[in-house]
Chain A
Amino acid sequence: MTGDPLSILVWLSAIFFLCGFLCMIVKRNVIGMLIGVELILNAANINFVAFGQLSRLGIDGQIATLFVIVLAAAEAAVALAITLVFYNSHSTIDADRGESLRG
């Protein structure tokens, strides 16, 4: 790893991505998985801002981040609503408990 700030940021975002990915795999709880998604989206955000500020991408990077933040918020809202519906009907938010759809 070099001391180049861009490299540091790319590696940071890789770690975020990895952690998010692991969250999706390891956690069975819906909220846990959604947190994983947030991490992945943030990984992308770090990249966007880093490439925007430190390389050619320019303000496109910042704008992309803004959009991602807004979309993530919207997604989180719907996700929570769906989780609630699921919880109301299944009394659990363990994603593996949904057994009726298999095959």
Chain B
Amino acid sequence: MQPLDFSTVIQTLTQNAQNVWMPHFFPEVVVCVTIVLILLASICLKRTARTTFALALIGLLVALCGIGSQLNVVGSGVSANPGEYFGGVLIWDGFTVPVRGMLLLFAILALSLSGSTMKFGARDATDFYTLLLGSTLGLLVLAQSNNLLMAFVGFEMASIPGYALVGFQRHRLRSSEASLKYLLYGAAASGVMLYGISLLSGLTGTLSVSQLGSHVAAIGSQATGATASHAVIFSLLLIFVGFAFKLSLVPFHFWAPDAFEGASAEVAGFLSVGGKVATFSLLVRMSLALSGSMTGEAAKLVLPLGIGLGVVAMASVTFGNLAAYFQKNVKRLLAYSTIAHSGYMLMAVAALLVLRSPEGASSGIDVKQVTQQCIEGLVFYLFVYVFMNIGAFGLTALMRNHFGSEDLEGVKGFGRVFPIHGACLVVCVFSLVGLPPLGGFWGKFVVFYSLFMASKISTFMMVVLLVGGLNTVFSLFYYIGILKAVFLGEPREGSSSLVAASSENGLAMLIALPILLLGMFPGAATDFASEMARSLVR
């Protein structure tokens, strides 16, 4: 036991602050400070919704700039000293830095959107932005956690403000009901996940994600391995429940339609995207750890795990698309589309596991390269998804503001009255379908390609690929339902005099343009994504 005096502790703290907090976790620090500032400002300054909004926006922008200055870690990696921090609780490398950038960018979009479309009083605005930033902070933590406990903390930090955000419109019956359902399902899922974490950490003796693989492998190679391996699978399943909940994968998707319909469209957009980006980042890390260093008995787990994920992915995609077909409410429809898109993204992870299984290693493919390819596809998909989904939900918010309805019946002719909004909606929706030359197509393309590579290892992945492809066609039915209402329907009497604010038009185009650009010139983005993958898989 080493001597412990107060000065040692203080010294450690300051060292941490100087060497770790500021250079590496500047964005998180800024977000924390912004939250405090917003609350302080609401006490000291004259409260207006605008000041709070400006504060939050500036905070996020500064944080994003912080990310910008760290981006040199991507690819090169060496000079910027990537690695595990806080004794391995967090990881900071060429993968997490851009993912955090993505999250911040997304938070900025969500913030600007709610700033321009939600009308609330100063006091409510303070609360809303605080919750939004708090949730974002949780997502940031989740995305870079390298420790299962930290991941759980991140999950909760992102979710708990989310519960409140869903119930933010207290005067609406549906809002409170939605938030209650979200809360109950969410709490149960996180409890189950935590139980899984506790078992897994007990079995392996570590909470570290990056050491998970080697520890699991160690279990598998010993005499008590068989039963312990079963226990490991069981605990992994429990943990996956938490992931699946956050990603609204079938069969843990129940909350999504209710929560998204009850929440305002802005909040629904925020919840549908943010959680995915952060959770997939962690899921990829876990999958890599589990599949990478395993040998012997334990390695046999990897292929079934990949196939299992493939099954879940197929179920999500199919169910999401089928259920969306019957929806009359745009938000609910988009909620089901979110479920389907989670499925598509999960396909990339499934392919990754299959390719990294021992069967993949022995088939003569370059495992490292194909792994990178899978991650590249997933990252690109997520990046496009940030824009296209927030765009779709944002335009739903605009429909609500201008037409007072979020039902397919009620928004007829929206695109004719507001041609710019309509055009942006076309871009978002067709990108969600996955048609070129829009970003969503390229996202699907790269994911399908990784499935195709995986199908060389396991023919089952070809089935997944075909199901995914066919679902793209199914999905057209309901997506086109939105466009049909918005363009082919006749606008209501008197709506032709409505005019969109130029700020709304600007924001809509700001979201639609990247989708178009990512579709037409995906080169830079895919290159960047593959650099990210390269810094993850060395």
Contact = CB atoms under 8 A, between A and B. Distances in A.
Q: What are the 6 A-B residue pairs with the smallest beta carbon separation, nearest first?
A: A56-B205, A40-B191, A51-B202, A47-B198, A98-B177, A44-B198
Contacts of A100: 173-174, 177
B194 interface: yes
A75 B176 contact: no
A40 B195 contact: yes
B258 A86 contact: no
Interface stretch (B10-18, B104-112, B182-190, B284-292): B182-190
Interface string B235-277: 0000000000000000000000110011000000000000000
A90 B199 CA distance: 39
A36 B191 CA distance: 10
Contact of A55 (B163, B205, B261): B205
Interface of A: 10, 13, 17, 20-21, 24, 30, 33-34, 36-37, 40-41, 43-45, 47-48, 50-51, 55-57, 60-61, 63-64, 67-68, 71, 74-75, 78-79, 81-83, 85-86, 88-90, 95, 98, 100-101, 103
Given A44-B197, A98-B181, 14 more contacts: A17-B195, A40-B188, A43-B195, A44-B191, A47-B198, A56-B206, A61-B201, A82-B163, A82-B179, A88-B176, A89-B173, A89-B176, A95-B184, A103-B326
Nearest to B166: A82
Given A56-B205, A75-B187, A90 B177 contact: yes
Contact of B163 (A37, A45, A78): A78
A47 B178 CA distance: 33
A35 B178 CA distance: 20
A40 B199 CA distance: 13
B181 A37 contact: no
5 contacts: A48-B198, A57-B206, A78-B163, A100-B174, A101-B174
B337 to A, nearest CB: 15
Contacts of B160: 74-75, 78
Given A48-B201, A50-B202, A75-B160, A37 B177 contact: no
A89 B194 CA distance: 32
B162 to A, nearest CB: 10
Interface string B320-337: 000000110000100000
A71 B170 CA distance: 24
Contacts of B170: 85, 89
Contact of B167 (A37, A75, A82): A82
A85 B183 CA distance: 13
B191 A37 contact: yes
B262 A101 contact: yes
Interface in B142-183: 149, 152-153, 156, 160, 163-164, 167, 170, 173-174, 176-181, 183
A79 B187 contact: yes
A33 B262 CA distance: 21
Given A81-B164, A86-B176, A89-B173, A37 B188 contact: yes
A103 B257 contact: yes
B176 A82 contact: yes
A48 B201 CA distance: 8
A1 to B, nearest CB: 15
Contact of A63 (B149, B194, B195): B149
B174 to A, nearest CB: 5
Contact of A71 (B153, B163, B202, B327): B153
A89 to B, nearest CB: 5
Contacts of B397: none
A103 B332 contact: yes
A85 B167 contact: yes
A55 to B, nearest CB: 6
Contacts of A89: 170, 173, 176-177
A68 B187 contact: no
Contacts of A45: 198
A101 B195 contact: no
Contacts of B205: 51, 55-57
Given A98-B177, A101-B181, A51 B198 contact: yes
A100 B329 CA distance: 13
Contacts of A103: 257, 326-327, 332
A64 to B, nearest CB: 5
A101 B149 contact: no
Contacts of A20: 191
Contacts of A17: 195
Contacts of A51: 198, 201-202, 205
Nearest to B259: A101
Given A17-B195, A40-B192, A103-B326, A34 B201 contact: no
B262 A36 contact: no
A95 B257 CA distance: 16
Contacts of A13: 195, 198
Contacts of A61: 201
B207 interface: yes
B271 to A, nearest CB: 15
Nearest to B178: A101
Contacts of A86: 176-177, 179-180
A10 B198 CA distance: 10
Given A55-B205, A57-B205, A82-B164, A71 B174 contact: no
Contacts of A63: 149
A2 B176 CA distance: 48
A29 to B, nearest CB: 11
A71 to B, nearest CB: 5
Contact of B156 (A33, A43, A75, A90): A75
